[in-house]
């Protein structure tokens, strides 16, 4: 099972870099549109994370 969350601030750079590399390699019009309107487009993104993985990550930050 998974949880869906808002994109975290730390994820924004990762998303941008992935889109930028995708655009650089493919010249995707859709990637360019998202990059050009990043602040608005990020509102449409969701962070999908497996529940068990999230639990492990949270446990690692407690220790």
Phi, psi angles (nearest 5°) of residue 12: -60, -40
pLDDT 10s digits, 1-51: 999 999 999 899 999 999 999 999 999 999 999 999 999 999 999 999 999
Whether residue 61 is predicted with pLDDT greater than 80 in this model: the reply is: no
Is residue 57 very low, low, confident or very high in pLDDT (cuts 50, 70, 90)?
A: confident
DSSP string, 10-41: HHHHHHHHHHHHHHHHH--HHHHHHHHTHHHH
Is residue 63 very low, low, confident or very high in pLDDT (cuts 50, 70, 90)?
A: low
Cα(62)–Cα(45) distance, integer angstroms = 28
Cα(31)–Cα(28) distance, integer angstroms = 5
pTM for this entry: 0.76
| Domain with 8 in it | 2-62
Element (H, E) at 55: helix 51-62
Q: Based on the structure, what is the number of domains in the chain? A: 1
Whether residue 60 is predicted with pLDDT greater than 90 in this model: the reply is: no
């Amino acid at each position: 099972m998974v949880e869906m969350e808002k994109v975290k601030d730390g994820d924004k750079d990762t998303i941008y870099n992935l889109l930028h590399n995708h655009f650089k390699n493919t010249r995707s019009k859709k990637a360019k549109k998202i990059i050009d309107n990043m602040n608005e487009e990020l509102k449409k993104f969701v962070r999908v994370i497996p529940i068990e993985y999230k639990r492990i990550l949270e446990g690692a930050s407690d220790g």
